[in-house]
Amino acid sequence: GVCGYILIVLSICIIIPLFPIALCFCLKIVQEYERAIIFRLGRVLSEPKGPGLFFIIPCTDTFIKVDKRTVSFDVPPQEILTKDSVTVAVDAVVYFKIANPMVSV
């Protein structure tokens, strides 16, 4: 609402005179395999940012980096008993990859 717009305008008014110092806090870098989900006053912005540089407003924006690489982990081996009473050792590896960072957050 109106309070949100007032906070954004006040933050920008603080950033402009302190621009050289504020660059350290406002510019963020996201790698090729990452995307950034930006929350402005607790609400998510429409599109994920990245890869590359993007600008955030320090007092009102927070962001989460989402890794889009394929991740794997081992499931510990387990012994199971079949219908004919034979024990079998089963081992597994699970692979997952995030396709849509907005939905994952």
What count of other Cβ atoms lies within 10 Å of the Cβ of residue 77?
9
Which residues are within 8 A (CB) of 93 and not within 5 positions of it... i.e. 6 or more apart? 72, 73, 74, 75
Are 38 and 12 contained in the same domain?
yes
Are 59 and 90 contained in the same domain?
no
Are 49 and 88 contained in the same domain?
no
Please give the pLDDT value at position 76.
Answer: 93
Are 16 and 58 contained in the same domain?
yes
Are 46 and 84 contained in the same domain?
no
Flag whether the pTM goes above 0.95: no
Residue type, 98: I
Are 22 and 52 contained in the same domain?
yes
Rounded CA separation 62/41 (Å): 8
Are 22 and 35 contained in the same domain?
yes
Please give the pLDDT value at position 50.
Answer: 87
Rounded CA separation 66/64 (Å): 6
Domain of residue 55, residue span: 2-67
Q: What is the mean pLDDT of each run of 10 residues along the chain (105 residues)?
A: 88 86 88 94 90 90 94 93 91 93 91
Domain count, the chain: 2
